[in-house]
Chain A
Amino acid sequence: MSAQIPISTFNPYRGEKARLVRAYDYLILVLALFLFIGSFHLHFALTVGDWDFWVDWKDRQWWPLVTPLIGITFPAAVQAVLWDKFRLPLGATLCVAALLLGTWVTRVFAYHYWNYFPINMVLPATMVPGALVLDTLLMLTNSLTITSIFGGAAFALLFYPTNWPIFGMFHQAVEYHNSQLTVADLFGFQYIRTGMPEYLRIIERGTLRTYGQYATPLAAFCSALLCSLMYPLWWYIGKWFADTRYLKSI
């Protein structure tokens, strides 16, 4: 990548060539959008799954641990391609935006219109702020190491506070038939899910008991550490899959 070719020798495309190259940009963008909507959404649904589907799964231990850990995978891989080959710092934001588009389509059409769940019961979480931080940090530092450590950590640490304005209100207490529930729990009780008994929820399980009731920050920092490791792993997966050889023949 060193500047062996003098700047004066670089000949930018003009006229018809420039128009064709721009058309190619849009073609790739549209294809990439649908590819990431489909693949990242599928990946997310199969791995994060119920934690993202249901309001009564979004707990303070597993949800902030699992979601960023899985959510950082595609952004890292796509950043590896878009930054390394094109110096485009938008891989993470593109992936997360595509994921959200796919998620909203499924929540509205599959969960609400097809299966009759109220949409507020299946509101998705957002990872946009973490993705913006990942993109900008990579752009400003141009360093895989720094982005892994600080970007990965920020992606995890920002997740819970980003989503609290959306889901905090569902954690208000309700007295219901001699027990205390959150509004979110009540959704799970009232809106019948035949294949989702209450005990299937993986919430509040684990040994994070020594530190009193500070489960969320601990889960978030645990996720931050794991995201710092997950990020470079998926960066190299992205690099391994990406191939721009054909561009040399244009």
Chain B
Amino acid sequence: MKVLFKPWLLALLCLNVLSVLTVPTAQAHGEKALEPFIRMRTIQWYDVQWSTQKFNVNEEVSVSGKFHVAEDWPISVPKPEASFLNISTPGPVLIRTERYLNGKPWTNSVSLEPGGDYEFKVVLKGRLPGRYHIHPFFNLKDAGQVMGPGVWLDIGGDPGDFRNTLKTINGEVIDMESFGFANGVFWHLFWGVLAAGWLLWWVRRPLFISRYRMLDAGLEQELITAQDKFIAKAVLVGVPVLVLALNAVTANRYPDAIPLQAGLDRILPLPAQVNAGTVNVDAIKAEYNVAQRAMLLQVSVDNRSQGAVRIGEFSSSNVHFMNAELADVGHMPGKDDVSNNGLSLDNNTPIAPGEQRTVTIEVRDAAWESEKLDGLIKDADSRIGGLLFLYDDVMGKRYISSISAAVIPKFN
């Protein structure tokens, strides 16, 4: 008894310890795991916003925004010929009720054009209460998931309130939460009973050793009786006939059934929003200072607009580096992915209309490291990409350029 006591006591202690330890739910979606050059130079998200972050089961929430498909698409990533705008959720805690690309509703995958500009909107409906970290993101065929900016959503209410009904083309109203379930269970039970009957028919008599010995003794004919054969013949004929009859009944019941739909949606990009030709920006050189966690971008700005412009923001992989010198221009205080004074210029004076100027931009912030963007210098494709936002304060206009350049690391 004493010998047994200690292991049992230890086991009890272990169980106690395990019971008080909390196991946190994983809420990340690997958004920092994808190689930086893919995050920076494929889908370039901007102006993404949620209609609300707190709502109840059965209430709708929408996320809308814009993205630019980078011209400098990495050679190692397949072109976005089949892409799917998805929502990262821990299971269907929300359902997707509507989705629009450039104002058009779409349900399948879509082919995107590098250099194209798109705006999107996804409408979701709360299904299960809880607090969830949610991103819009693109599944890119053969490339992976490129995350958009994430937020925390709080869904309140009672899961029992959730309703999801729709009308088929024949006018039948169906409840998606239970449609076909009872029917499926019925047929599984139906065939399950037949299978169980056949198994029990054989299991009720001595099985392995007895049958093996009889077979070994040449008593094969004793093992399969005439009754067994009669039942087997009935099953052999009856089951296929039953299957075909039930199939015919179902086919008659749903004469308008159609195959699963597998089309690819074709939606043209919007007129150019990024690299629209009014203010042209060309990246000349990029250096990354590892110790200072600072990216030095040398760009050539050609202002062909009617007003003076100033560089206000550099955005890459959902991190926004803001120019603190520009008041009231796109500052988003309090957001995790915004560096409010992460961007500074060697010359902050406005770039006059018609002026061409080479500007050195320093983008300095710990976000390079915390967002795992500094891994770029160890990638096989170490080109940086991102969106540069320029503002015309007087005219109230914004110009966006998608820039890219090879990055040279500086270790001292």
Contact = CB atoms under 8 A, between A and B. Distances in A.
Interface in B249-299: 249-251, 253-254, 256-262, 264
B3 interface: no
Interface in A103-162: 104, 114-120, 123-124, 126, 128-129, 131-133, 135-137, 139-140, 154, 158, 160-162
Contact of B89 (A104, A176, A194): A194
A192 B105 contact: no
A35 interface: no
A129 B187 contact: no
A165 B185 CA distance: 11
A177 B105 contact: yes
Interface stretch (A1-9, A64-72, A225-233): A1-9
Nearest to A201: B262
Interface in B97-143: 97-99, 104-109, 127-128, 139, 141
Contact of B212 (A85, A115, A129, A179): A85
A123 B172 contact: no
A239 interface: no
A140 B215 CA distance: 17
B209 A128 contact: no
B15 interface: no
Q: How large is the interface on B (under 10, 10 to 19, 20 to 34, 35 or more residues)?
A: 35 or more
A236 interface: no
A1 B219 CA distance: 9
A205 interface: yes
B20 interface: no
Interface in A177-212: 177-187, 189-194, 197-201, 203-205
A164 B29 CA distance: 37
A15 interface: no
Contact of B95 (A100, A160, A192, A247): A192
A204 B98 contact: no
Given A165-B187, A168-B251, A192-B96, A199 B261 contact: no
B258 A180 contact: yes
Contact of B208 (A28, A100, A174, A198): A28
Given A136-B236, A184-B260, A250-B209, A116 B187 contact: no
B11 interface: no
Interface string A82-106: 0001111110011011001000100
A117 B92 contact: yes
Contacts of B84: 197-199
Contact of A185 (B94, B107, B141): B107
B260 A56 contact: yes
* Residue of A89, A120, A154, A175 most packed against chain B (CB within 10 A): A120
B328 interface: no
B169 A123 contact: no
Nearest to A60: B259
Contact of B214 (A10, A175, A180, A189): A10
A136 B235 contact: yes
Contacts of B97: 190
B256 A94 contact: no
A171 B235 contact: no
A128 B191 contact: yes
Contact of B207 (A88, A161, A165, A190): A88
B334 interface: no
Interface stretch (B69-77, B148-156, B176-184, B359-367): B176-184
* Residue of B89, B242, B243 most packed against chain A (CB within 10 A): B243
B240 A133 contact: yes
B344 to A, nearest CB: 38
A59 B259 contact: yes
Interface in A22-67: 22, 24-25, 28-29, 56-60
A247 to B, nearest CB: 5
Contacts of A115: 90-91
Contact of A199 (B109, B167, B220, B259): B109
Nearest to A24: B209
19 contacts: A1-B215, A4-B218, A12-B214, A60-B260, A93-B195, A129-B242, A136-B232, A139-B232, A140-B229, A164-B246, A168-B253, A171-B257, A172-B254, A176-B166, A177-B105, A180-B258, A194-B29, A199-B141, A201-B262
Interface of B: 29, 82-84, 86-99, 104-109, 127-128, 139, 141, 145, 164, 166-170, 172, 174, 176-181, 183-184, 187-188, 191-192, 194-196, 198-199, 202-203, 206-220, 223-224, 228-229, 232-233, 235-236, 239-240, 242-244, 246-247, 249-251, 253-254, 256-262, 264
Interface of A: 1-5, 7, 9-10, 12-13, 18, 21-22, 24-25, 28-29, 56-60, 85-90, 93-94, 96-97, 100, 104, 114-120, 123-124, 126, 128-129, 131-133, 135-137, 139-140, 154, 158, 160-162, 164-187, 189-194, 197-201, 203-205, 215, 244, 247, 250
